[in-house]
Amino acid sequence: MTQLRDRVSAALKDAMRNKQADRLSTLRLISAAIKDRDIAVRTENSTEGVPDSELLVILGKMVKQRLESARVYEEGGRLELAEKERAEIEVIEEFLPRQLNDDEIQKAISAAITETGAQSIRDMGKVMGTLKAKYMGQMDFGAVGCQVKTHLS
């Protein structure tokens, strides 16, 4: 088992013991998403699950889904449902690495551009690949893509 799986499993057991229904519900969603991904990539020769780096991608997607849902609920005047989504985000974010601040992101982009020798927008894929390899789960790559594009233009 990977370290992230162990943490999710331990948190799930603690939530059951402490009878934290809302937290337990979110942790079960995380566990189910991990198991779904494991099943999707399982082969006859490999019973090992997906690596932590891929699990971070799954958790990141879960956060984005809940942010979008919370926004829609707020626009529809369903504040109690928006709060529930935000509470789920807090639980999911416990398992994600610390997010980089704007200065750290700018330094990472500059370092990746230097490392890859990127000269133009055509090299954006190399830069993004380097950033994803080093900072998975620590930054929003959708927003970072725009910043990389600006640096390379």
The pTM of this model reads: 0.72
Exposure class string for 110-128: b at 16+ Cβ within 10 A, else e: eebbeebebeeeeebeebb
Alpha carbon distances (Å) from 149 to 1, 99, 105, 123, 132: 38, 21, 14, 10, 15
Q: Kindly report which listed range (5-14, 21-30, 33-42) carries the lowest average pLDDT score.
A: 33-42
The answer to whether 3-93 and 102-152 have equal CATH topology is no
Q: Where are the domains of the chain?
A: 3-93, 102-152
For residues 135 and 108, the answer to whether their CB atoms sit within 8 Å is yes
pLDDT of residue 43: 67
Output the six-digit token pair for 146: 């725009």
Fold classification of 102-152 (topology level): Arc Repressor Mutant, subunit A (1.10.10)
Kindly report the average pLDDT of the chain as a whole number.
87
- Higher pLDDT: 143 or 45? It is 143
Alpha helices in the chain (DSSP H): 3-17, 21-41, 52-75, 79-93, 102-116, 124-135, 141-152
**pLDDT higher than threshold 70 for residue 1:** no
Fold classification of 3-93 (topology level): Hypothetical Protein Yqey; Chain: A; domain1 (1.10.1510)
| Band of pLDDT at residue 47, cut at 50, 70 and 90 | low
**pLDDT higher than threshold 60 for residue 8:** yes
Taking the C-alpha atoms of residue 63 and residue 43, their distance in angstroms, rounded to an integer, is 28
Output the six-digit token pair for 144: 């970072």
DSSP label at 43?
A: -
Mean pLDDT across the stretch 117-137?
85
pLDDT of residue 12: 93
Q: What is the pLDDT of residues 50-108, one digit of tens each?
A: 787 788 888 888 988 999 999 999 999 999 999 999 999 999 988 888 888 889 988 98
Half-sphere exposure of residue 99: CA atoms within 13 angstroms, side-chain side: 10
DSSP letters, 61-99, are HHHHHHHHHHHHHHHTT-HHHHHHHHHHHHHHHTTSPPP
